[in-house]
Structure 1
Amino acid sequence: MKKNTNTMLDGTDLTILDHLQRDCRIKINELGARVNLSETPCWRRWKRLEKEGIVTHYTAVLDRKKLGFNVIGFSLVSLNNHAPEETDKFEQIIRDFDWVLMCFCIAGSADFILQIVARDLDEYYDKISEIRRIKVVDSIQSNIAVKEIKNSTKLPLF
């Protein structure tokens, strides 16, 4: 069994989670058959995993290129002021940019790494310029992805 903060997950729970990561639209009877449970116990486990916050939400994975988002950039952002109120403001501004797909506070040569999506390089430049105008931003180093090798949200449960 793997221990998660307050929750003990057994092999059946992990298998349910693995199947949900692959296809969250799976029918309860099909999921039950795959984990050797009847529908009701399988449904109860699924709902418990939601209630305990292990399953946080369900989403559709979109093909960004088919929607015209041809540029993915990773930007290292350094701040000039690390006071909590300043970093909190920066984080809130970044949360409000829907074109920032991910933002992590990091240890290393910068303070944050952002994943930014844009339709083209001109739009990417405009977005970086918008970040650069945030008062607390000291510097930005951008890296443009030239080839996508792997892009997954699936956690390695086994």
Structure 2
Amino acid sequence: MFDDRDRKILDLLQNDASLGVSELAERVNLSVSACSRRIQRLEEEGFIARRVVLLDRPLMGLPTTMFVIVRTARHSAEWLEQFRKAINDIPEIVEVHRMTGTIDYILKLVLPRVEAYDGIYRTLVERVEFFDISASVSMEILKTTTAVPTRYVR
């Protein structure tokens, strides 16, 4: 049973996972024990996948965001396994999406500067065969969030 209090708990935790159970309980008008049981249930049911700390990228020396567009001529399981291994070995690649349409994959990279991309590019093309690979630098982040809307849960 998922209700508005569960939704509120998830919204609050997405914004600040360090909130204590007592503060969460107060904000959703529950006792501490009832709130704790709900959080535990939300974790057990998989709504809360994990709790993480988000780092300040500029302070970490990674102010640059690049998006790499990949097209491949091969779509075999072997190629995909090579690609998965290559991207998993490069920590600067923080997201990879398989796409529909004329683009096969989009990679999101975080870098100290644009010039650092060359080393990652060389590593990728040494390990995986591509039909086409191109990159674009993000000039400005207009919106970024890790929170997802909770209104669609029934």
TM-score scaled by length of structure 2: 0.91
**Aligned match of 1:55 in 45, 48, 54?**
48
Higher RCO structure (Cα 8 Å, ≥6 apart): 2
The one-letter amino acid of 1:140's match is: I
Distance 2:40 2:85 in 1: 31
Structure 2 portions without partners, runs of 5+? none
- 1:35 aligned partner: 28
Task: Return the alpha-carbon distance in structure 1 between the equivalents of residues 49 and 27 of structure 2.
Answer: 22
Name the structure with the higher strand share: 1
TM-score by length of 1: 0.89
CA RMSD of aligned residues (A): 1.3
Between 1:43-52 and 1:120-129, the stretch displaced more is: 120-129
Which residue of 1 is the match for residue 125 of structure 2? 132
Tell me the amino acid that sits aligned with residue 57 of structure 2.
R
Aligned: 1:113 with 2:113: no
Q: Within 5 Å, which residues of 2 pair with 1:56-135? A: 56-135=49-128
Contact kept, 8 Å, 1:132 with 1:139, in 2: the verdict is: no
SS in structure 1 of the partner of residue 127 of structure 2: coil
Question: What is the number of equivalent residue pairs in this alignment?
Answer: 151
| Partners of 2:67 and 2:138 within 8 A in 1 | yes
| Counterpart for residue 12 of structure 1 | 5
- Give the deviation of 1:118 after TM superposition: 1.1
How much has 1:129 moved relative to structure 2? 2.1
